[in-house]
Amino acid sequence: MCTELVHIGFGNVIAVNRVIAFLSVNQQPIKRLIREAREKGLLIDATHGRKAKAAILFDTGHMVLAAVTAETIAHRLATASMASEEKVELGSA
């Protein structure tokens, strides 16, 4: 099984196969989830002191805060998957 990684800013990457959701942090229910993850010790702050714009929820219960938006991360994931599909097509020809 291949682990696909995506860059979330400042040299940080995440394993996409463990991600449940990319969330925007400007909603009260998400802020509550972030607070609960912090209290449980399951929060990873990857913002490097910047304002958090996205929260990434993992299947392990961990949550990562990123300084880039959820849309940006999704776009990076889409372009990375398109590039890997092209590599597969080129390799099979």
Q: What is the pLDDT of residue 15?
A: 94
Q: State the total domains in the chain.
A: 1
What is the chain's mean pLDDT, rounded?
A: 90
pLDDT of residue 10 exceeding 80, the answer is yes
Q: What is the pLDDT of residue 2?
A: 81
Residue 17 corresponds to which tokens in the numbers above? 């196969």
Place of tokens 């938006």: 69
Do residues 30 and 55 lie in contact, with contact meaning Cβ atoms separated by under 8 Å?
A: yes
Q: What is the pLDDT of residue 90?
A: 56
Share of the chain above pLDDT 90, in %: 77
Buried b (16+ CB within 10 A) or exposed e, 43-71: beebbeeeebbbbbbbeeeebbbbbbebe
pLDDT of residue 64 exceeding 90, the answer is yes
Confidence tier at 92 by pLDDT (50, 70, 90): low
Q: Which domain holds residue 12?
A: 5-92
